[in-house]
Amino acid sequence: MTLQNTPTQTARDGGRHDSPLSHVSPSLNSIWHVDRPLQRGHSEGIHWQRNADMLLGMIELQETDVLPTAAGMSPLQAASQSVYERLFRLLRQQDMPHLWRVWNYLGDINGESHGLERYRQFNLGRYAAFVQAHRDTGGQVPAACAIGVQHGPLSVAFLAGSMPVVPVENPRQLSAWRYPTQYGPRAPTFSRAALAYPPGQEVLFISGTASIVGHETVHPGDVVAQCRETVRNLECVVQEASRLARSAPAFALGDMSHRAYVRHASDIATVQRTLKALLGDAPLACVRADICRSDLLVEVESQALHSLSPP
């Protein structure tokens, strides 16, 4: 398996979307290359492809197409719960039980409606689906990101496999699933990173990472300082992943591919320059997008793949 991040006019992680993340450059198409025959299907709105070991899926759901199932439930909460319930049903049907990596895209992520920020509404629905599926919401959870777009449906792309991941946390940060209630009624359901195991390979997926120490945003209003703090967090995650990894040599930021989400288009050149100085020649793509906290100006997700020596 290999991954190629290609600037194109098509959209994100295998699907097409009318709202590109960036207004200053084409959106990104993440292309996963596999060397085994693929089976394709469509189930409950999910377009999916799989081989014997992995499944890649994509679903888009309009919030207005889902009826809330409880009093006080917002349309976004209902939609996010429905998306994840469908996702988990598909994984059970396909006997591909282990969720590796998820990319979530939602409109107006920092906006408020129904008395609650929309990202926090999304977290409520996602958490409920994890609980309903009897999945561990405090540890064995996938790497993930939640990114804001201007408008459009709730879009979720995901990669699952036949083998479980090894979750990776960051010693500098409180695990996201342990966040206090000041960040919403339910904490986000993801790990800081995950090690996944396609046949003969070890893949490190680092979740969206930002300028957070403990559970608090640091350097508000300073995009350069936030870039530097983000890289410090990435370094700590990579060190922890290398400690847990089966492959050699150790993972290194300079050998990974990175995608930066930048809140303000006017900051993109500064973010590119700052991150390039810290990451060296590693592939880096920058796109304009909103981030899960309104005081975060940049977020970076990363990934790398190593071959495993035969036993």
pLDDT computed for residue 14 by the predictor: 36
What is the C-alpha to C-alpha distance for residues 234 and 101, in angstroms, rounded to an integer? 17
Q: What type of residue sits at position 167?
A: P
What is the C-alpha to C-alpha distance for residues 229 and 211, in angstroms, rounded to an integer? 5
Annotated catalytic residue within 60, 63, 240, 299: 299
pLDDT computed for residue 18 by the predictor: 32
Asked if 235 is an active-site residue, the reply is: no
- Contact predicate 94/161, CB 8 Å: no
pLDDT computed for residue 146 by the predictor: 98
pLDDT computed for residue 137 by the predictor: 79
Starting at the edge strand that comes first in sequence, how are the strands of the sheet with 257-262 ordered?
Answer: 166-168, 193-196, 201-209, 298-307, 257-262, 284-288
pLDDT computed for residue 168 by the predictor: 97
CA-closest candidate to residue 272, choices 158, 181, 262, 136 = 262
144 Rama sector, left if φ>0, alpha if ψ -120 to 50, beta otherwise: beta
| Vertex 177: Cα angle to 171 and 180 (nearest 5) | 90
CA-closest candidate to residue 297, choices 250, 248, 262 = 262
Q: Mean pLDDT in runs of 10 for the chain (311 residues)? A: 43 34 49 81 96 95 89 94 97 97 97 96 97 86 96 96 96 96 96 95 97 98 98 98 94 96 97 97 95 98 91 62
The pTM assigned to this predicted structure is 0.91
Task: Indicate the SS3 state at residue 236.
Answer: helix
pLDDT computed for residue 33 by the predictor: 77
For the chain, which domains are there? 2-307 (3.30.1330.40)
